[in-house]
Structure 1
């Protein structure tokens, strides 16, 4: 079995999303669970790197710039997943593996 991506969910995501992902077999933790609420975006990404986790965030504008800056400097991380915010019930209704708009 391939290695699974471990996720750290930013504070702009719902803690329920992390819980639902865990119920579905993913290694996902929300920043609130770790006492990281209020940390700066850069500090959150550093913590994700320290834990070997990709960061899932709705904060597309800020983290796109931070990830580009880290790439330019060669600063390693385990990935930043920039996810535009969608209604939670819409995400839960989708079959596993289906992308927005019905694409796979």
Structure 2
């Protein structure tokens, strides 16, 4: 699979996907941080990415308008502390 990780999620998710044999990139690394959701959506569909985000509300609406796409993965977190905990767990898993 080809994953594109949203700017709202930690860049360490790219390595997690790559270590499992997937192609992955991060919005920030492509110079797309701050782009509008609909502009990102054009790239996502054009490049056949499965998009990983915690912005479920906006991207579900955008994906509903697409006839076909590679997929949407939403990582739901309650707060900023949850995001930090997820990143720590990912890094710990990578180092074990």
TM-score using structure 1 length: 0.69
TM-score using structure 2 length: 0.74
Query: Which protein is bigger by CA-based radius of gyration?
Result: 1
Whether contact under 8 Å (1:9, 1:18) holds in the other structure is: yes
Partner of 1:31: 27
- CA shift, 1:89, in A, is 3.2
- CA shift, 1:93, in A, is 6.5
Matched, 1:60 2:56: yes
- CA shift, 1:31, in A, is 0.7
Whether contact under 8 Å (2:4, 2:52) holds in the other structure is: yes
Q: Deviations over 1:21-48 (max 9, x none)?
A: 2133221110111111111111112111
Whether contact under 8 Å (1:64, 1:82) holds in the other structure is: no
- CA shift, 1:78, in A, is 1.8
Partner of 1:42: 38
Whether contact under 8 Å (1:10, 1:56) holds in the other structure is: yes
CA distance in 2 between partners of 1:6 and 1:34 (Å): 14
| Bigger relative contact order, structure 1 or 2 (CA pairs below 8 A, ≥6 apart) | 2
Which consecutive residues of structure 1, in runs of 5 or more, have no partner in the other structure? Answer: 95-104
Select the residue among 61, 80, 85 that pairs with 2:72.
Answer: 80
Which consecutive residues of structure 2, in runs of 5 or more, have no partner in the other structure? Answer: none
